[in-house]
Chains A and B, each alone.
Chain A
Amino acid sequence: MTSRRKLLGFGLTGFGGLVAGRAGAAGEFPPEPERAPGLPVLSPAYGQPSPRVAAIQRKSWSNPPLEQASSLTPLGDLYGALTPNGLFYERHHSGVPDIDPERHRLVIHGAVRRPVAFSLEDLLRLPSVSRLHFLECTGNSGSELVKPTRETVQGTHGLLSCAEWTGVPLSILLDEAGLLPSGKWLLAEGADAGRMTRSVPIEKALDDAIVAYGQNGEPLRPEQGFPMRLFLPGWGGNLSVKWLRRLKVAAEPFYTREETSKYTDLMADGSARIFTWAMDAKSVITRPSGGQTLGGGPGPYQISGVAWSGRGRITTVEISTDGGQSWRKAPLQEPVLSKCLTRFSLPWEWSGGPAILQSRAIDETGYRQPTREALIAARGAHGAYHNNSIQSWRVDPSGKVTNIHA
């Protein structure tokens, strides 16, 4: 029962959980190690997290229709830059298909000299790359633009994850098919029930697009597109079509449902931006963050979080503990990679008084993460997409951390 309570406590107040060890060090010592041998190897054959951290889970915040279903990464409980595959956020429009990799094919046709079907085995015989990139849903933080809605960073920013993606550069596959000069756009289509489709301009396809079959060293998870997906670094997650089965090359964009009715940005004047692909620079403090508690009282802490940009490398992250009145640069953890999560961490001496924690990122294009007010002034408040504004967490004197708009 005690361990069960501790386990839940870690999930709910992760920050406080870490501090509990410090309080213990003043008095009681940890128990002696066990004197009997522990479990054998293969317990189980595919390793799982300690049952003591079993509360670290993806969450779905509501029970939406399957077409609108998503689950969120527990950013407040994670370290470093990479997301474990089992905690990678999900967004599906027709559920997760169960695909036999031996029967799956990727067809490339349309404006090519040689329409061709690739099996997974074919892809494995072609040159591969492995690259570390974040994936963020265009709607991430959309709930937070007008008022603070979600309690935790999992809720406010959890449609964000990061992995090493292994696959074949799309340029190689298009070369195999013999791209014709009239080919300016691709239609990427999935093998899910709703056959998800998005248009991709040929420039992106030939730049850094990957047909990925690997994620953090193992085959893609079913919910991430097994056996193969498109991966478009730095662009809104919906464009990286999962369960990829068809790429049609054509002269014009396809104006699919997902790039007209959805994933367009409605402005205050009633116009809507279309083809808003890149995810702009953004950052968020994950520790301390909403729902956590600075349980150890005043004293030294680390303010830590992640920063990313769909347009390149993060160059600077600044942190404020006074609601944006003053800012300090936070050291960035190496490696700092393009279109990848970058971890930052800054020592902070908490006085025990109220504080408002914020972070803001700058990327190598000179782009500076905006305030909410600046976004709303430019676009209005309707947009559920591309909210990359500065997040505020309030620390109250009890150490409790909450989501606020400063």
Chain B
Amino acid sequence: MPKRLLLLLPLLLSACDAATPAPPARLGHAVTEQEIAAWNIDVSPGNGGLPPGRGTVAEGRKVYANACAACHGEKGDDGPAPKLRGGRGSLASAKPLTTVGSYWPYAETLFDYVRRAMPFDRPGSLSDDQVYAVTAYLLRINDILAEDAELDATRLPRIRMPNRDGFVPDPRDASHL
């Protein structure tokens, strides 16, 4: 390809973009992803979103004691708020216990929920490092991570939660019950 044409390529590509313009703005205020970065906090297994940062089990133990234990109990299953540990193997029993360890299918969900909604009385008050750390700690007390584990945006998505395959699609359209 002649060198001149190569130089033109970016221009040609942007011309293609221009050929399918965004619809004319009629109502609402156009925003950029940069402008709404502070709102764009969701983290999920399929769509990503984990922020920079890191945290260890040991750091998470301190975060938990300060921010979580008052409601979830010192051990994670002895407070007024939902139990966070235990219940492995109980789901098919007469007394199932659904916790982070026994029930939650994805570690991303734990990170997302802690970051957006916890601690209950001051959600959003933990730093991303603290959220990584307390996530690591909660997985530790459920025997999913080792005592020396550390989590970040690379390591967290590799965690396979015990009940990862425990969920089935809704059959009611066909089966009614």
Residue positions of A touching B, CB distance < 8 A:
65-67, 93-94, 105, 107-109, 113-119, 122, 125-126, 175-178, 187, 189, 193-195, 197, 245-246, 248, 250-257, 260-261, 264, 266-278, 280, 367-368, 370, 374-375, 377-379, 382
B114 to chain A, nearest CB (A): 9
Cα(A126)–Cα(B80), bound, Å: 46
Determine the distance from Cα of A187 to Cα of B39 in the docked complex, in whole angstroms.
Answer: 12
Q: What separation, in Å, do the CA atoms of A252 and B44 have in the docked complex?
A: 9
CB distance from A342 to the nearest CB of B (A): 20
The stretch that binds A, out of B50-58, B105-113, B136-144, is: B105-113
Q: What chain B residues lie within 8 Å of A378 (beta carbons)?
A: 175, 177
A374 and B25: CB pair below 8 A?
no
Asked if B2 CB lies within 8 Å of chain A CBs, one says no
Q: Which of A66, A117, A248, A375 contacts B28 (CB 8 A)?
A: A117
Tell me the bound Cα distance from A94 to B23 in angstroms: 37
A197's contact among B28, B36, B116, B120, by CB below 8 Å, is which? B116
Contact B103 A261, beta carbon cutoff 8 Å: yes
Number of interface residues of B (CB under 8 A): 52
A248 to B71 alpha-carbon distance, docked (Å): 31
A227 to chain B, nearest CB (A): 15
Determine how close the nearest CB of chain B comes to the CB of A310; give it in whole angstroms.
10
Could you tell me if A195 and B104 are in contact, using CB atoms closer than 8 angstroms?
no
Asked if B45 contacts A255 (CB within 8 A), the reply is yes
Are A266 and B91 in contact, with the CB atoms below 8 A? yes
Q: Which residue of chain B has the shortest Cβ distance to A380 in the bound complex? A: B92
Q: Would you mind naming 20 contact pairs between A and B with Cβ atoms under 8 Å apart?
A: A65-B120, A66-B120, A67-B120, A114-B23, A116-B28, A118-B29, A248-B40, A252-B45, A254-B44, A254-B47, A255-B46, A256-B113, A261-B98, A266-B91, A268-B92, A274-B168, A274-B169, A274-B170, A276-B170, A375-B177
Q: A193-B123, A375-B177 are in contact. Are A260 and B36 (CB under 8 A)?
A: no
Residues of B within 8 A of A105 (CB): 29
Beyond A113-B23, A187-B42, A197-B116, 13 additional pairs, beta carbon < 8 A: A65-B81, A109-B33, A115-B36, A119-B29, A122-B29, A178-B22, A252-B45, A256-B44, A261-B113, A268-B92, A270-B166, A273-B169, A274-B170
Cβ distance B76 to chain A, nearest Cβ, rounded Å = 14
Which chain B positions have C-beta within 8 A of A254?
42, 44, 46-47, 112
List the A residue with the shortest CB-CB distance to B116: A195
Given contacts A187-B42, A195-B123, A274-B170, contact A269 B92 (CB under 8 A): yes
A260 and B105 contact, CB distance less than 8 A: yes
A-B residue pair count with CB separations less than 8 angstroms: 173
Whole-angstrom distance between the Cβ of A256 and the nearest chain B Cβ: 7
A312 to chain B, nearest CB (A): 13
A residues less than 8 Å from B44 (CB atoms): 187, 252-256
Q: Of residues 86 to 103 in B, which have CB atoms within 8 Å of A's CB atoms?
A: 91-93, 96, 98, 100, 103
Complex CA–CA separation, A382 to B40 (angstroms): 36
For the complex, give the distance between the alpha carbons of A251 and B173 in Å.
23
Inter-chain CA distance A127–B164, complex, in Å, is 43
A109 to B33, CA, bound (A): 8
Contact: A178 with B116, CB < 8 Å? Answer: no
Across the two chains, which residue of chain A brings its CB closest to B23? Answer: A178
Are B112 and A270 touching (Cβ within 8 A)?
Answer: no
Chain B residues near A66 (CB-CB < 8 A): 120
B11-61 contacts to A (CB < 8 Å):
22-23, 25-33, 36, 39-42, 44-47
A122 touches B92 (CB 8 A): no
Contact A257:B23 (CB < 8 A) given known A270-B91, A271-B166? no
- Asked whether B166 lies within 8 Å of A255 as measured between CB atoms, the reply is no
A245 contacts which of B31, B39, B123, B177 (Cβ < 8 Å)? B39
Name the contact of B27 in the complex, choosing from A118, A260, A374 (C-beta under 8 A): A118
Does the CB pair B98–A114 fall under 8 Å? no
Smallest Cβ-Cβ distance to B46: which chain A residue? A252
* 4 closest A-B pairs by CB: A252-B46, A270-B92, A194-B117, A270-B91
Among residues of B, the one whose C-beta sits closest to the C-beta of A257 is: B113
Give Cα A119–Cα B112 distance, bound, in whole angstroms.
Answer: 27
Task: Give Cα A248–Cα B39 distance, bound, in whole angstroms.
Answer: 10
Residues of B contacting A67 with CB < 8 Å? 81, 120
Is the Cβ of B42 less than 8 Å from the Cβ of A271?
no
B170, A275: Cβ atoms under 8 Å?
Answer: yes
Closest chain-B Cβ to A250's Cβ sits at a distance in Å of 4
CB distance from B121 to the nearest CB of A (A): 9
What residue in chain A is nearest B90 (Cβ atoms)?
A270
| CB atoms of A257 and B25 under 8 A apart | no
Asked if B123 and A94 sit within 8 Å, CB to CB, the answer is yes
Instruction: Verify B39–A107 contact, CB threshold 8 A.
Output: yes
Asked if A256 and B120 make an inter-chain contact with CB atoms under 8 angstroms apart, the answer reads no
Indicate if the CB atoms of B106 and A255 lie closer than 8 Å.
yes
Instruction: Please tell me if the beta carbons of B27 and A126 are within 8 angstroms of each other in the complex.
Output: yes
Asked whether A194 lies within 8 Å of B23 as measured between CB atoms, the reply is: no
